[in-house]
Amino acid sequence: KTDFIRFYPATLVCLASGGSPSQWKLSWKVGGSSTTTPASHSLEVLGSDGRFSWSSTLNLPADQWKKVDSVACEASLSGQSAVTQTLDPHSCSV
């Protein structure tokens, strides 16, 4: 587990589903701060239930991944409270 965190990059995927309206945005925080590492974002997908889903993928190089104490994905909509999910990299298993 430790070797994995130490030597390999990380690809993190954040999936948000069941949202409405479609203007929600996904963003990443690494170590508690907004990241400058580029992330790729999917277009929103309208489900048969009339709600939307989105995803965002963040690739962290090994040197950054091994140093951080947390990575968070935040879903936000203007005027609404953000919804955040936080990951502790050291609790990840291979």
* Residue-number span of the structural domain to which 56 is assigned: 2-91
Q: What is the pLDDT of residues 15-71, one digit of tens each?
A: 988 877 778 889 999 999 988 788 998 888 999 998 889 899 999 988 888 888 999
At 36, which CATH number? Answer: 2.60.40.10
In the chain, how many domains are there? 1
pLDDT digits (tens, 9 = 90+) for 67-87: 889 999 999 888 888 899 999
Q: What angle do CA 17, 71, 6 make, to 5 degrees?
A: 130
pLDDT bucket at 92, cuts 50 / 70 / 90: confident
Q: Give the whole-angstrom CA distance, residue 33 versus residue 63.
A: 17
**For residues 34 and 27, is the Cβ–Cβ distance under 8 A?**
yes
* CA dist., res. 39 & res. 59, Å (int): 7
**Helix then strand then coil, % of the chain, to nearest 5:** 15, 45, 40
Q: What is the pLDDT of residue 57?
A: 95
